[in-house]
Structure formats: C-alpha cells, structure tokens
C-alpha cells in the first residue's frame, strides 16, 4: 500500500491537497454529531449501489465524560446503471412512510420526495433526516468509484467507457466552480466525452485515541467510498461551531484517498439564531478551479440558521459555489437542535428539527 501511495501519479491540475489529520478533542459542554455514508458495490462495479449510513449525537459533560444521546442507521439499494433508482430502503429507527420512495430516482428532486413521503421526518429525527439528505449527492459522488475502477493501467479517463454506459450523470456546464466552462473537467468532456480522473491524496485517519470521538465504522473494501461528517457545537451566547466534511475512495489496491474535504468554522448568536461568522477552508479539492468556491460560505453571515437548507439550495448556484461545500453549509441548519441537546438553548432560537429519540 505504501508503494502505491508513493508512485501514484497525480493529475497535473489537481486542487489543494492539505487534508486534516485526526479529530479535535471534545470540548466540555459540547455536542458532537457524526455521520458516515458508505457507498458500496458488493456485486461489482456495474452492480447495484449499496448505501450504508450511520449517525450519532454525543454530549460531552463538564467533566469530559461522553454520553450517547441518539443514533440512527439506514441501508439502501440503488440501481445505479438503470437510472439511479431506489429499490430498497431500511432505517433504524423505522420510518414505514419512507417505503413510498421505492422507484424514485436518487437525484434531483429526491429530497423533495422524502419530505412528501414523510413530512415529519426533519422534526422528529434529525439524524435520519441528515442521512436521507445525503442520498442524492452520495449517489452522484459514488460514480467516481466506477470511473476509477474501470480505468486502465495508466489510470486515465481515456480508458473509461462513455459516461452514459456506466450510469454516470451528464455533466452540466457551469453547475459549480469545478464544472466551469473552460475548466479542467469541461475541457476533457468537450475533447473526449469523458471527465478527467480525480487523483486525491492519501486519507489520514480521522479516529484518535478517544474511543468516543467517532461512532463505530467498518473497514472499507476496494472500490468503495465514504462520506464522513462531523459537527461540534459548543454552547454560549456566541456558540462556536466546527465542521468537517470528507468524501474518500478506496482504490483497487486498498489505498484510501480523498476526493473532497472541507472544514467550516462558524459562530452563532444563540439569542437570535443568526450566523455572525462563517468561513470554509478547502482541505482537499479535485481541481484547481474548485478553491474559489470556499468564499461563498461568508454569504451566510447575518442569516438565521433556521431555513439554511432551503436558502442554500435556492441561492448557492453556479460557478461561485461547490455542490459539496453546499451540502456542508446546508447542514448548519442542525445547529439549534444540537444546542437544544446541550441544554443551553435560548427559548427564542429557531429550531430546525430535533435529533433522534432513542436515548441510551
């Protein structure tokens, strides 16, 4: 594995490679929300996509002791080649209404379909809501594993079959900074009909000696991917928020590399529920064009955290943004729920939905 990391060729136009290592210590009085979404293909690269999600809320007391407040899990099977159609879904805690999603495409419009199928989900189980909210982009991102797995010995995009032949989506020009007209991706798509192959850096482990720092995860097999999220909220008149977002891929030789990674630092006026500071730091990005999108995070300053998911969805569009950073910023709507779990929320702070109800 070490040799493959040393000799693996990087694309000459790759973006920043400065991944985080480990995880910050839990602050006394804070609440930590962690989530992982594994993207697996147990029946081969062209077989169904299996999503396996897990999320947890953990409180840290004044003495530093940790207490699990809630957990949620989900599994899903998606016909990736046949149009990214959801064919199976199971959740813990159970939400029978979500069976109405079977047959839906896990792409644009899926989040609205979740709300239509189970309108109370966001209010009754913030963890499951976060997991289901990740389905569309996780499914989209999972196409990287197909492209990388089917690449030839030189690991070039030219070795791949056309995108439509492997169920990958058509790339939309100017969708985000990475898909800017004249940028790395679109130049290759225009010239060859195929996107370039992302070559990220090796992924340092997020786990530390703190056995409660993250929820338990399983080892990833070759050709799999994982989305990892962490949000630490420390209450106070000005609540501090620290966020990590990482998408990683395990190659055929077992090497885990990072496709996207951001950290976000924010401060919230707990009395009024308004962001008074918000900045994003790109840690790993696939292409040189992507880094400018980090500036979009500052556009949230002065806005209430309540309603951020809709606001980001409706207004963070085009080449000044990044779809992966947008997902990270949308999750800031969960801050009031985490402050409430910390027991120090002010009555007038708007709520975006509480966490799962299973206590341990």
Reported pTM = 0.88
Q: Over the chain, what HEC string results?
A: CHHHHHHCCCCCCCCCECCCCCCCCCCCCCEEEEEEEEEECCCCCCCCEEEEEEEEEEEECCCCCEEEEEEEEEEEEEECCCCCEEEEEEEECCCHHHHHHCCCECCCCHHHHHHHHCCCHHHHCHHHHHHHHCHHHHHHHCHHHHHHHHCCCCCCHHHCCCHHHHCCCCCCCCCCHHHCCCCHHHHHHHHHCCCCCCCCCECCCCCCCCCCCCCCCCCCCCCCEEEEEEEEEECCCEEEEEEEEEEEEECCCCCEEEEEEEEEEEEEECCCCEEEEEEEEEEECCCHHHHHHHHHHHHHCCCECCCHHHHHHHHCCCCCCCHHHHHHHHHHHHHHHHHHHHCCCCCCCCCCCCCCCCCC
Q: Is residue 359 part of a domain?
A: no
Domain contains 311: yes
Tell me whether residue 360 is in a domain.
no
Q: Has residue 357 been placed in a domain?
A: no
Query: For the segment 175-201, what is each residue's pLDDT rounded down to a tens digit?
Result: 888 888 898 988 888 898 888 889 999
Answer yes or no: are the C-beta atoms of 30 and 234 closer than 8 Å.
yes
Query: How many structural domains comprise the chain?
Result: 1
Lowest mean pLDDT among 37-51, 75-89, 164-178, 212-226: 164-178
pLDDT value at residue 171: 67
What range defines the domain where residue 117 resides? 2-342
Give the pLDDT confidence of 113-125 residue by residue, as tens digits: 999 999 999 989 9
Q: Give the pLDDT score at 152.
A: 54
Q: Given this model, what pLDDT does residue 7 score?
A: 56
In a domain, 88, yes or no: yes
pLDDT-based confidence at residue 165 (cuts at 50, 70, 90):
very low
In a domain, 351, yes or no: no
Residue 347, number of CB atoms within 10 A of its CB: 5
The pLDDT-based confidence of 150 (bands split at 50, 70, 90) is confident
Tell whether 73 is covered by a domain. Answer: yes
pLDDT digits (tens, 9 = 90+) for 22-67: 999 999 999 999 999 999 999 999 999 999 999 999 999 998 999 9
In a domain, 352, yes or no: no
pLDDT at 359: 38
**What pLDDT score does 170 carry?**
58
Give 289-311 pLDDT, tens digit per residue.
999 999 999 999 999 999 999 99
């Amino acid at each position: 594995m070490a040799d493959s990391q040393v000799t693996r060729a990087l694309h000459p136009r790759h973006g920043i490679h400065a991944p985080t290592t480990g995880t910050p210590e839990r602050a006394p009085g804070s609440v930590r929300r962690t989530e992982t979404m594994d993207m697996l293909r147990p029946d081969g690269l062209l077989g169904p996509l299996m999503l396996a999600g897990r999320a947890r809320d953990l409180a840290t007391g004044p003495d530093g002791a940790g207490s699990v407040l809630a957990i949620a899990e989900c599994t899903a099977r998606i016909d990736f080649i046949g149009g990214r159609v959801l064919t199976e879904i199971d959740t813990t805690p159970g939400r029978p209404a979500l069976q109405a999603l079977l047959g839906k495409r896990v792409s644009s419009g899926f989040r609205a379909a979740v709300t239509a199928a189970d309108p109370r989900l966001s209010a009754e189980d913030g963890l499951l809501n976060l997991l289901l909210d990740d389905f569309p982009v996780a499914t989209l991102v999972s196409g990287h594993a197909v492209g990388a797995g089917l690449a030839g010995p030189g690991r070039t995009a030219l070795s791949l079959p056309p995108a439509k032949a492997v169920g990958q989506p058509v790339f939309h020009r100017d969708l985000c900074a990475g898909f800017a007209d004249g940028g790395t991706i679109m130049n290759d798509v225009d010239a060859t009909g195929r996107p370039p192959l992302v070559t990220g850096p090796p992924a340092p482990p997020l786990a530390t000696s703190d056995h409660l720092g993250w929820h338990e995860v399983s080892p990833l097999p070759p050709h799999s991917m994982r989305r990892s999220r962490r949000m630490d909220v420390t209450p106070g008149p000005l609540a501090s928020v620290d966020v990590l977002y990482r998408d990683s891929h395990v190659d055929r030789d077992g090497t885990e590399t990072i496709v996207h990674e951001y950290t976000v630092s924010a401060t919230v006026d707990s009395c009024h529920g308004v962001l008074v500071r918000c900045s994003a730091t790109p840690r790993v990005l696939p292409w040189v064009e992507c880094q400018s999108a980090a500036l979009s995070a500052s556009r949230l300053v002065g806005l209430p955290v309540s309603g951020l998911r809709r606001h980001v969805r409706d207004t963070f569009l085009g080449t000044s943004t990044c779809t992966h950073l947008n997902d990270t910023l949308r999750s800031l709507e969960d801050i009031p729920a985490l402050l409430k779990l910390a027991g120090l929320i002010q009555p007038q702070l708007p709520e975006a939905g509480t966490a799962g109800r299973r206590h341990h």
